[in-house]
Structure 1
Amino acid sequence: MSRDATPSAAPVPPPPPAEITFAGHYGKNPLGGASFRQMCGRLPSVLGQTCRMAWRIDRGSVLLLLVCQIVIGLAAAVLLGATSRAMAPILGEGRAADRIDAALPALVVIAVAVGVARVTSALASYAEGRITPLLMTAADADMVEAVCRVEAAAYGEEGFADRQEAAEMGVMRTNLMVRDAQQFMAAMIRMAAAAGVLTVLHPLMLALLVLAVLPAGAGAVMAARVDYETHYANVGDRNVRGMMRWWATTPKLADEVRANGMTGYLMFWYRSLSERIDRRTLAMAPRLLRIALTTSALGGAFLLATWTTLAWLAVTGRVELGVAATAVVAVQSSLSALSQVVIYGAAMFHTSLYLADMRAFLDFAAERAPKRGELTAPEQPEEIRLDEVVYQYPNKAAPAVNRVSLTLRRGEVVAVVGENGSGKSTLTRLITGLYLPDKGRVVWDGVDVAAADPETVWRRTGLVPQFFGQWPLAVRENVTLGQPRTHHDAPVWDAVDAVGMRTAVEELPHGLDTLLARELWGGSELSGGQWQRVACSRALYRRPPVLILDEPTSEMDARGEHRMFTVLKDMARDRITIVVTHRIENTRMADRIVVMEHGRITEQGTYEDLLHSGGLFSELHALSQDR
């Protein structure tokens, strides 16, 4: 070993993932100060909410379900009454044949009641099976629509992703809601029927039976509270773990993950986060065990008292033997029904916690949906004017766009350049009305975007953002995004031709019908530059009067880049065109160049004017030539 050689240092262990908690303005646990009585008081509202949601989905099935529950309850009452009538002769004196003959009418009623209950239960399951998938689909669709329709600025608000993750759990729990409510109501009806029989036999029996089941109900509700506390503590970690799982496993990042040796760290990170979630979950196990042991002991003591009381009533002759036998059946039926009430009542309570998160998020999303005005944006705007516009992202110290005034005219191509973080992309979001300025105005031909119906603004725009969608759809739908203008493909091919993609599309296995998703059976994949051309064709297909392209050629080769800017120049006379780019040479085609620095416009002019101005543009140009 040479004198300069030193033993290799031990590898530095990677740090664990940072602590992530569901906290902030909306991060207060709704059960933090809730009493047991308050928690139980949620059940009627949850039951009502379930009925209202199901009623909107399928009224016929809801009516069938309600009728079935009533019939099942009546059948239970008839069954107990017939059992009481049958027990008297069966346990009486005389020949067995005579006793059976005397009990036969009651036994027939019992058989009919059992048959009716079985058939009605099957019909109730059928009705539940019709409602549940529709309700799940409706909740899921409401969730997706809510996220899609919020103001774009809402995504940047603190806790948005955590609230969405909590709401997603509510969507998943929706499939249990109807089943739990149906079982809860059925058990309540059966319990009422059995309780009526028990009350007639001896009022003390019902009181003891309720006491026998009440501890189990209290335990189930307390266990649900503990489970929800665990869920609440893990929301942030679960949200990040889910995102990281997607990024680590998507084929789109497979090359980066493998070639950079990231697999080991990603797995360490993923397992560390999973273990932390598991630790929180396991830490709740002792509390759950204490709840289960305590409530089981209390319930067992009261149940023993119930059976002891029944035996005492029979032995002392306070009730006849036949009545006592009927009481045994009634107690068993009541106990089963009460247990079902407890189990499904607790399940409804449990589900209600997650549904409350979903409802809260949907209400929040409704509040953050665009509510700007009813004015209609002009069909073909001649001019877009920004007057002293200021926009600052939440939790940022300085505005991303600061007192910007700019006029854009139809027929003009405007290039926007500047260093990273200078406010270029934010400026485009303000122009298109995706963001509304904190101060100042964005005006389309005299119409303030803040007072216009946003849909009328977005129907006039075509936007190619830096991060565009690579949708798992056919080529045709990737160009039209499901908004065809004709019943034939000529406009689609025109857009494909404009970006130089015809040959590439024709070489795909099924042309325009080829599914662009290599992960799916029969799907194909495009290169990065080809995907970028498809994204540009998507904007061109719309033929928008306002066209904005944010780094539209960053992944294209020189030929594709030249073609793209030639097309933009040829189309410019019919629209307002804004191109954001870091490639200074591309700005030659622009009629005007806007230079941004720290959220402000510091220079404007033609390529030749700015090239010799000695400002940031000439500096960036010199750097681009020095590569």
Structure 2
Amino acid sequence: MAKATVTAASRPSGSSRPSHPSGSSQLPELKASWWESHSVALASVRFSAMARRLPAVLRQAVTIAWQASRRDTVAALAFNLLAGVATAFGLLATRGVLQALFAAGPTLDRVRAAVPSLVVVAAATFVRSGLSIIAGWAQARLEPQVLTTAERRLFELTTQVKLAAFDDAGFSDEMERARNRGSLAVQFLTRGAIDLTAGLAGLAATAVTLALLHPVLLGALLLASVPAAWAAVRAARLAYLSNHARTSRRRRLWMLSDLMANRATAAELRAFTMRPFLLREYDIMAGAETRTELEVVRRQTMTRLVGGVFSGVATFGVYVALGALLVDHRLPLAAAGTAVLALQAARNALALAVTNVNRVYEEGLYFNDYTDFLARAGERMPPVTREATVRAPASIEVRDATLHYAETDAPAVLGANLTVHRGQTIALVGENGSGKTSLARLIAGLYHPDSGTVSWDGTPLSTVDPEDAWQHVAMVSQEYWHWPFTAERNILLGTNDAPRDGTNDAPRDGTNDAPRDGPRDAPRDAPRDGPRDGTNDEPRDEPRENTHDGLVEAAARKAGAHDMIAGLPAGYDTLLSRNFAGGQDLSGGQWQRLAAARAFYRDAPVLICDEPSAALDARAEHALFAALRAGAPDRITVLITHRLANVRHADHIYVLHEGHVVEHGAHLDLLAAGGTYAELFALQATGYTAA
């Protein structure tokens, strides 16, 4: 594939379009993706190396399957092995049928003599089919259980590891491989291992049959199998090597396809007249891809042709050997007929086994990624400690706290000190990268300092179960997520669905009062697919009579989100994701209001607001900060914002620079000091006061 020949730095001055040779792509090289992690190893490994590693890989597959379901694992393996035994019995019984039919005497007598063996053949065929069906049923049951077991174990760890683990690029890459390929590899490995077992069982059954008929036939089977096995392995390797070589080009095609058929890019594509450029790039990539695929087809066909020729020669040699044994009276005619059937069965079993060898080996490598990640994630778990417990803090104290992120030299926070009491609002101010968010997360207990302490009411958070502390924290993050649930569920996330003020008559019992994702006013067994009809379900401006809904609505009103939610097609029951039928999407500012409503509903004693108004318009921003200033008197509020007009009312302001707290005090005191805060405030004020 052609590499980019022109870069931004090498374009001639004043040129509006880069010059490039005809047929050459302008796209740069792509970074290796997670699913290519073992491509080089798989491209270079030999079949013999795969075969040597098979026992260890099969043992891994059986182990995870055993954890998922012992009964289905035993059934899938045992019934496949028994099916192989039934195959051997059927072939041996076939010899009895042929002996009776080829014996001297009247035809009717020969047929009668063959009946007992025919019954055995029919019974063996019936049993083998039944065993294979039961084995397939057990395998079909086992696969989803294996996948669920693997994914659940993965998510148990990813939701529990220290937050700092996600700042490590290596950990994130390993997690992506384990999540996107490793979990599926467990399922594919189980399937391949069972199919390989079935193929090997069938091959062993036919081999035993031929050995019992005559030892020479066993050697003939091995010789006859070599060309077919070679052709199958060779064709599979050609396909894999081709896929590996074409990976980068296919990723470019996927990227170009997404750019040309995506709602998010449609406007810019047209406004900047990018259609000719994108189509030209697509033609270059697609043309090269088509030519490569045709070449692979040609080479695979030639491989199969060569394999077929040698397989035919080998099969002819087997029949010559059979004829020689017959002529020499060393093999009865009935045994020869049975041998022919056994050779055909062996060919099918061999094809099944060979097909799954490469699959089992490849999936075994990705399964190792999964197990390695589980081991590393286990090392990054927060310490299990019950030394102390915490309640809603009356004061939070940070003393000489220092925090480093993985793979960074400079500390995010260095020697920070601050104290905040219940009912106070503190503001963290500074330029980008000064450590504001990091310090706020130390206060919330999401990170533990490398040195120094963060204490709630004198209790170091390092001695407390993290989840005990997080129960008392609400956060409006600048990196809030668009949760694909209803508007109401977005506000309720992470909180108990039961009313908090105890005015409902009875607690939820899991029947009529189960947590709801569906419509609020309709009966629980009457789903509503259509929009509100403007009668009973039209948006309401007054708080709802239900106490629970009143709390949700009160939080939405406080965040300035109620009117926006009421205007949605189904109000608070609107699904906020276009991945669902009838789902809606919100603007950035609307999502930010919803995130603020979630924090207000949680009503936690520690509230962290990290750029809570970055996407809000002026009116919404004013309403939000008015609600924050009128906050509960028993709350500690930590405010981070670049809009310094919103921090004037904070009880104490901390100014950070490169992780250090360089200034702190009240708004007027900091202005009078004429330091960094005064400079930043004056710069922003100039934009509003200058003529």
TM-score by length of 1: 0.85
1:116 partner letter: V
Q: How does 1:299-378 map to 2 (within 5 A)?
A: 303-371=315-383, 373-378=385-390
Q: 1:243, 1:455 → 2: CA distance?
A: 41
CA 1:519–1:108 in 2, change beyond 3 Å: closer, same or farther?
A: closer
CA distance in 2, matches of 1:231, 1:419: 48
List per-residue Cα deviations over 1:132-175 (Å, max 9, x = no partner): 23323333444445444333333332344543443312333444
Aligned-residue offset at 1:523: 1.6
Question: Which residue number in structure 2 is paired with residue 90 of structure 1?
Answer: 101
Bigger drift between 122-131 and 582-591 goes to 122-131
Partner residue of 1:125?
Answer: 136
Corresponding residue for 2:110?
A: 99
How far residue 517 of structure 1 moved from its aligned partner, in angstroms, is 1.9
Q: CA deviation at 1:250?
A: 6.9
Letter in 1 for 2:467: E
Q: Distance in 2 between matches of 1:574 and 1:210?
A: 82
User: Within 5 A, what are the aligned runs for 1:376-387?
Assistant: 376-387=388-399
The answer on 1:432 being equivalent to 2:436 is no
1:84, distance to aligned residue in structure 2 (A):
0.8
Comparing 359-368 with 191-200, greater Cα deviation is found at: 359-368
Q: Retained in 2: the 8 A contact 1:151–1:368?
A: yes
Once the two structures are superposed, what CA deviation does each residue of 1:27-70 show, in whole Å capped at 9, x if it has no partner?
99666997755532332233333333333333443343344324
1:552-580 superposed Cα distances (whole Å, 9 cap, x missing partner) = 01222333222222222232532221110
Q: How far apart, CA to CA, are the structure 1 residues paired with 2:550 and 2:486? A: 16
Compared CA separation, residues 165 and 61, structure 1 to 2 (3 A): same
> C-alpha distance in 1, partners of 2:256/2:437?
26
How many angstroms apart in 1 are the aligned matches of 2:72 and 2:138? 5
CA distance in structure 1 between the aligned counterparts of 2:427 and 2:627, rounded to whole angstroms: 15
Find out whether 1:62 has 2:68 as its counterpart: no
Confirm or deny: 8 A CA contact 1:379 1:545 kept in the other structure. Answer: no
Q: Residues 244 and 15 from structure 1, CA distance in 2 versus in 1: closer, same or farther, beyond 3 angstroms?
A: closer
The change in CA–CA distance for 1:335 and 1:493 in structure 2 (over 3 A counts) is same
Q: Secondary structure at the match of 2:630?
A: helix
Task: Give the distance between the partners of 2:678 and 2:282, measured in 1 at CA.
Answer: 46
Distance 1:583 1:83, change over 3 A: same
Q: Which of 85, 95, 103 lines up with 1:74 in the alignment?
A: 85
The answer to whether the 8 Å contact 1:377/1:444 transfers is no
Distance change (3 Å), C-alpha of 1:235 and 1:464: farther
Instruction: Please name the residue that 1:532 is paired with.
Output: 592
Shift of 1:405: 2.3
Separation in structure 1 between the aligned mates of residue 353 and residue 654 of structure 2, nearest angstrom: 69
CA spacing shift, 1:564–1:30, aligned 2, 3 Å: same
User: Which range is displaced more, 219-228 or 73-82?
Assistant: 219-228
Q: Which residue of 2 aligns with 1:4?
A: none
Q: 1:533 is aligned with what amino acid?
A: R
Equivalent residue letter for 1:11? R
Task: Give the paired residue count.
Answer: 619
The offset of 1:511, in angstroms, is 2.2
Tell me the secondary structure at the aligned position of residue 390 of structure 2: coil
| Pairing 1:533-612 to 2, within 5 Å after superposition | 533-612=593-672
- What residue number does 1:471 align with? 483
Aligned to 2:539: none
Asked if residue 151 in structure 1 is aligned to residue 157 in structure 2, the reply is: no
Superposed CA offset, 1:366-396 (max 9, x none): 3333336444551212333333233333343
How far, CA to CA, are the matches of 1:265 and 1:538 in structure 2?
45
Paired residues for 1:38-437 under 5 Å: 38-167=49-178, 168-213=180-225, 303-371=315-383, 373-437=385-449
Q: Deviations over 1:101-121 (max 9, x none)?
A: 221221122122222222332
User: Quick check: 96-105 or 239-248, which moved more?
Assistant: 239-248
Query: Which residue matches 2:459?
Result: 447
Q: CA-atom RMSD, angstroms?
A: 3.9
Q: 1:494 to 1:39 in 2, by over 3 A?
A: same
Q: What displacement does 1:100 show?
A: 1.6
1:11 aligned to 2:11?
A: no
Q: What code does the residue aligned with 2:116 have?
A: P
CA contact (8 A) 2:42 2:362 kept: no
Alpha-carbon separation, structure 2, partners of 1:522 and 1:395: 44
- In the superposition, relative to structure 1, how do residues 311 and 402 fare at CA in structure 2: closer, same or farther (>3 Å)? farther
Structure 2 residue identity aligned to 1:613 = A
Shift of 1:491: 2.7
* Structure 1, gaps ≥5 residues long: 1-6
* Aligned-partner SS, 1:626: helix
The separation in 2 between residues aligned to 1:476 and 1:571, in whole angstroms, is 22
411-420 or 334-343: bigger deviation: 334-343
Task: Return the alpha-carbon distance in structure 2 between the equivalents of residues 282 and 388 of structure 1.
Answer: 66
Q: 1:320 to 1:43 in 2, by over 3 A?
A: same
Question: In 2 relative to 1, CA 283–432 (structure 1 residues): closer, same or farther, beyond 3 Å?
Answer: farther
Give yes or no for contact 2:50–2:358 (8 Å, CA) kept in 1: no
1:573 is paired with a residue of what secondary structure? Answer: coil
Match of 1:512 in 2: 572
Residues in 1 aligned to 2:291 and 2:157: alpha-carbon distance in whole angstroms: 33
CA distance in 1, matches of 2:254, 2:634: 45
User: Shift of the alpha carbon at 1:595?
Assistant: 0.9
Q: Partner of 2:452: helix, strand, or coil?
A: strand
Work out the CA distance in 1 between the residues paired with 2:450 and 2:269: 40
Deviation at 1:535, TM superposition (A): 0.1
Identity level (%)? 36
Q: Distance in 1 between matches of 2:164 and 2:317?
A: 63
Deviation at 1:85, TM superposition (A): 0.4
Are 1:481 and 2:493 counterparts? yes
Larger displacement relative to structure 2 (524-533 or 298-307): 298-307
Task: Judge which range, 587-596 or 270-279, deviates more.
Answer: 270-279
CA contact (8 A) 1:64 1:127 kept: yes
